[in-house]
């Protein structure tokens, strides 16, 4: 069994190392836990807090990084909990405050770019290239409500997509979505040949014990499937159904937002999804479903930005 080295941190077989890791060329520093298993096996990367106000996954990662014992592992686990500590502390949605960029839109990053681009580059070089699988734990943001679901990469090599999809099917949630993106953190890993998932659970700037436990159960079951945790899988109540096509609705002009549906609600083609009005109550735009489907997430704040995200829904086969 070999020691595990990530950036400047090394853990010996059976050892756990926990420390802050500086991101080269930036003021950022992130909490990292390395677990080097006592026996050979896969290396799994698990991160949370790409978006600093998405709490259930962050707390699940913090707890599992404390609780799991590397002496019991066949393989390695690398945790980052959370990645975007600046956004987390400042309670800022979506972005890394230093340069105002969304880490989930800048992959593969740039060694000589802005803070967020340098962070993405470091994740690719130091983390993704050493991982056999990557789980990225998200939630709805501070202003978003969502129904739990999972994305798997759709633009990577087909074998990477298929290995990712196979693991997505193990999760205890209702829906899975094939991603058409390339610039997100998990898609950045998939582009380097590392199968990956982005899991969504919880939102609105809240976190509950139930959500954290559900997250921990899904993560442990993935680790068991990959052979890193030796115990038997915990039973699940369902398997995700694949969304045939996802729709992402954005406002034109912003203003006041009045949604007419909830996350997880089934919708019918032609149904009113919500209306944007001005400060005098005059309608700016109304939005209708283009297909039968289910609401994956929506903005629940009264305020909506110009071109801001309103609702995402998925068409079911």
CA atoms within 13 A on the CB side of 161: 13
Nearer to Zn ion, 291 or 300 (CB): 300
d(CA 316, CA 5): 43
Q: What is the dihedral of CA 158, 159, 163, 164, to 10 degrees?
A: -30
Q: How far is the CB of 182 from Zn ion (least distance, A)?
A: 16
The 3-state secondary structure of 67-94 reads: HCCHHHCEEEEEEECCCCHHHHHHCCCC
Token pair, residue 205, equals 């700037």
Q: Which stretch binds Zn ion (CB under 5 A): 11-19, 72-80, 130-138, 256-264?
A: 130-138
Handedness of CA 101, 104, 105, 108 (dihedral sign): positive
* Closest CB 142 distance from Zn ion, rounded Å: 11
Q: Which stretch binds Zn ion (CB under 5 A): 9-17, 66-74, 132-140, 165-173?
A: 132-140
* Shortest distance, position 141 Cβ to Zn ion, whole Å: 6
Q: β-strands 149-153, 196-200: how paired? A: antiparallel
How many positions of this chain bind Zn ion (CB under 5 A)?
3
CB of 50 to Zn ion, least distance (A): 6
Residues β-bridged to residue 133: 44
At its nearest, how many Å lie between Zn ion and the CB of residue 197? 13
Per-residue contact flags (x/-) with Zn ion for residues 137 to 166, judged by CB under 5 A = -x----------------------------
Comparison of 58 and 289: residue with beta carbon closer to Zn ion? 58
Site string for Zn ion, 44-83 (x = CB under 5 A): -------x--x-----------------------------
Cis amide leading into 82 (omega within 30): yes
CA-nearest of 127, 131, 128 to 42 is: 131
Closest CB to Zn ion among residues 11, 200: 200
Cβ contacts of residue 158 below 8 Å, gap of 6+?
A: none
Which is nearer to Zn ion, 104 or 221 (by Cβ)?
104
Q: Among residues 126 and 200, whose Cβ is nearest to Zn ion?
A: 200
Give me the phi and psi of 48, to 5 degrees please.
-145, 165
Shortest distance (Å) from residue 144 CB to Zn ion: 9
What residues line the site for Zn ion (CB under 5 A)? 51, 54, 138
């Amino acid at each position: 069994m070999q020691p595990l080295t990530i950036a400047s941190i090394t853990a010996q077989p059976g050892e756990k190392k926990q420390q802050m890791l500086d991101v080269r060329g930036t003021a950022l520093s992130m909490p990292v836990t390395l677990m080097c298993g006592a026996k050979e096996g896969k290396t799994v990367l698990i991160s949370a807090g790409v978006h600093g106000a998405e709490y259930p996954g962050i707390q699940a990662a913090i707890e599992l990084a404390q609780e799991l014992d590397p002496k019991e592992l066949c393989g390695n686990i690398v945790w980052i909990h959370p990645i975007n500590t600046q956004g987390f502390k400042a309670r800022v949605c979506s972005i890394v405050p230093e340069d105002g960029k969304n880490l989930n839109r800048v992959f593969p990053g740039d060694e000589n770019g802005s803070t967020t681009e340098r962070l993405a580059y470091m994740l690719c070089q130091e983390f993704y290239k050493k991982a056999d699988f990557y789980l990225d734990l998200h939630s709805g943001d501070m202003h978003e409500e969502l129904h739990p679901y999972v994305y798997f990469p759709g633009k990577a090599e087909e074998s990477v997509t298929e290995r990712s999809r196979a693991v997505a099917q193990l999760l205890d949630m209702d829906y899975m979505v094939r991603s058409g993106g390339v610039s997100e953190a998990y898609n950045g890993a998939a582009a380097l040949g590392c199968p990956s998932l982005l899991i969504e659970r919880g939102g609105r700037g809240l976190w509950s014990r139930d959500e954290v436990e559900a997250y921990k159960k899904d993560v442990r079951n993935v680790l068991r499937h990959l052979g890193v945790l030796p115990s038997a899988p915990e039973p699940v109540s369902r398997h995700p159904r694949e969304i045939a096509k996802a729709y992402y609705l954005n406002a034109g002009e912003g203003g006041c937002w009045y949604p007419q549906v909830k996350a997880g609600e089934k919708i019918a083609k032609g149904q009113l999804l919500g209306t944007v009005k001005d400060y005098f109550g005059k309608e700016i735009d109304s939005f209708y479903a283009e297909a039968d489907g289910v609401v994956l997430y929506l903005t629940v704040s009264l305020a909506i930005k110009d071109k801001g995200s309103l609702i995402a829904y998925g068409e079911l086969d």
